[in-house]
């Protein structure tokens, strides 16, 4: 993967059509996470769930999610202004355009897709009551007033389907108040075609998390920053987002 520094100036791309005044500052996100010491990866040796702890809020921009930490974001949260007057904000989730399996649990209303804010312990996998909305080259809108709910995610690794989740909160009404989205963690099931419960961090996540936050996260945050920092954002541009 090419990790050379990317230009801070934003280049237009068809994937962002209609999304005005989007500011993407990987250095700011990386600094916020590193300074707060809130990035840690939980991956017990024998566990099948990989959990990434983050805590970052954006009011205007793009926040990539790299579930399996391979430097190629699987999804991106977009917070942007729409309309000619730029008075309305929208929050959406997009999938990697190269992944035909990229999807979020939700529903469709006409030509628009909407992501569901699912509760803790909701089953994410095949055969669920709610349907997955495909996000390859598409987007799903995320609602307002969400507090510590989850996005149910589907994506692929080497052609095999995997399931995961991202925990989010949203604020603002989208017109008179600035809307924000907060990402406070994500995880995925390493075994293909295996259901994961929303919020499940694995059997030993709590103990590992305490250890990582106490000794590793503040001094070696590179794995976390790979998902949310400059390298991740550079990979997002490279992949055509």
Q: What is the mean pLDDT of residues 169-180?
A: 72
How far is CA 184 from its chain centroid? 10
Which tens digit of pLDDT belongs to each residue from 106-162? 999 999 999 999 999 999 998 776 799 999 989 999 998 899 999 999 999 999 999
Q: What is the mean pLDDT of residues 66-70?
A: 95
Which pLDDT does position 13 carry in this prediction?
31
Say if pTM beats, i.e. exceeds, 0.85: no
Type and span of the H or E element at 225: helix 222-228
Taking alpha carbons only, the member of 59, 33, 60 closest to residue 232 is 33
- Taking the domains of the chain in order of start, what are their residue ranges? 14-238
Q: What is the mean pLDDT of residues 35-42?
A: 43
3-class DSSP state of 120: coil
Taking alpha carbons only, the member of 210, 213, 212, 185 closest to residue 199 is 185
3-class DSSP state of 197: strand
């Amino acid at each position: 993967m090419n990790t050379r520094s990317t230009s801070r100036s934003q280049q237009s791309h068809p994937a962002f059509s209609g999304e005005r005044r989007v500011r993407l500052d990987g250095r700011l996100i990386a600094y916020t996470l590193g300074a707060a010491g809130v990035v840690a990866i939980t991956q017990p040796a024998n566990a099948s769930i990989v959990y990434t702890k983050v805590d970052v809020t954006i009011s205007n921009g793009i926040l990539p999610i790299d579930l399996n930490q391979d430097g190629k974001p699987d999804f991106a949260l977009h917070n942007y202004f729409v309309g000619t007057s730029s008075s309305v904000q929208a929050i959406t989730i997009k999938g990697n355009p190269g992944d035909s399996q990229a999807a979020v649990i939700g529903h469709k209303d006409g030509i628009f897709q909407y992501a569901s804010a699912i509760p803790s312990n909701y089953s994410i996998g095949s055969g669920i009551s709610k349907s997955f909305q495909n996000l390859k080259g598409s987007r799903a809108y995320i609602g307002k007033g969400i507090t510590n709910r989850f996005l149910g995610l589907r994506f692929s690794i080497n052609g095999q389907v995997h399931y995961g989740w991202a925990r989010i909160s949203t604020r603002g009404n989208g017109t008179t108040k600035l809307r924000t989205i907060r990402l406070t963690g994500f995880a995925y099931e390493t075994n293909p075609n295996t259901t994961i419960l929303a919020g499940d961090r694995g059997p030993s996540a709590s103990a590992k998390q305490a250890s990582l936050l106490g000794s590793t996260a503040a001094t070696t945050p590179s794995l976390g920053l790979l998902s949310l920092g400059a390298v991740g954002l550079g990979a997002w541009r490279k992949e055509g987002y």
